[in-house]
A and B are shown apart, each in its own frame.
Chain A
């Protein structure tokens, strides 16, 4: 195991539902990330948090709302999603500081496979 735990592993939701994805890292890292993995497409960086402060929002629709209450936990709140949002959502963490190798070596969780009906 990489030390990054994501729950749930699988999630099926309707377009009107509200759900949350959870990520917890046990590595003492200071940065956490959400990535979206769709079949045959590059991984898409969604959000970056450094020391609990959001440092990047990669033009993600507002129906995705991240929350980072502390350096060990990261959430992705979902509401009124679309079928095209179905994908594997990966959480990652790293021990870096902005400007000095930030985000180089990432430790990923196993992901949440999301299906939007």
Chain B
């Protein structure tokens, strides 16, 4: 079965500090991995994805994510957090072998950046 786990419900960080939002995955084959962000009263927005190649993927708003196959992780990172980054972040995975491309989402991690 395909799944992702986001072990932290809440992450708090001061503005200007680096941030990390954790995600681990479980798939039967090689994964496609994604991060989405949800701002208050809005739908989810695509941030970035890992398909193949370089393990460090760069996305929107200065975010990046590091794919680690041995640890089955895909943590989201940003070198310097902004208050405006405060939102709910979702990790998602798709099995490459899936013909329907169904995305499996985690429960989400609430990121709060303090001024």
B102 A40 Cβ-Cβ under 8 A: no
**CB–CB A102/B105 < 8 A:** no
Contacting chain B: which of A13-21, A71-79, A90-98? Answer: A90-98
Interface size on A, residues (CB 8 A): 28
Residues on B with C-beta less than 8 A from A108 are 43-45
How distant is the Cα of A6 from the Cα of B41 in the complex, in angstroms?
12
Q: Which residues of A contact B49 (CB under 8 A)?
A: 104-105
Q: A116 interface residue, CB < 8 Å from B?
A: no
| B49 nearest CB neighbor, chain A only | A104
Q: Which chain B residues (98-115) contact chain A, with CB distance < 8 Å? A: 99-108
**Using Cβ atoms and an 8 Å threshold, which residues of chain B touch A43?**
44, 90, 105
Q: Are B106 and A110 in contact (CB under 8 A)?
A: no
Tally inter-chain residue pairs, CB-CB below 8 A.
66
- Are the C-beta atoms of A106 and B101 separated by less than 8 Å? no
Give the complex CA separation of A6 and B46 in angstroms.
18
Are A104 and B32 neighbours in the complex by a CB distance under 8 Å?
Answer: yes
A61 touches B (CB below 8 Å): no
Assess the A41–B100 pair: CB atoms within 8 A. Answer: no
* Contact A42–B43 (Cβ < 8 Å): no
The answer for the CA separation of A109 and B103 in the assembled complex, in Å, is: 17
Instruction: Knowing that A103-B103, A104-B49, A106-B46 touch, tell me 19 more A-B residue pairs with CB under 8 angstroms.
Output: A4-B43, A40-B108, A42-B104, A42-B106, A42-B108, A43-B90, A55-B100, A56-B100, A92-B43, A92-B44, A96-B101, A99-B101, A102-B99, A104-B34, A107-B46, A108-B44, A108-B45, A109-B43, A110-B43
List the 9 closest pairs (A to B, CB-CB), nearest first.
A108-B43, A102-B101, A103-B101, A43-B105, A108-B44, A99-B99, A42-B105, A109-B43, A110-B43
Seen from chain B, the residues whose Cβ lies within 8 Å of a Cβ on chain A are: 4, 9, 32, 34, 36, 41-46, 49, 90, 94, 99-108
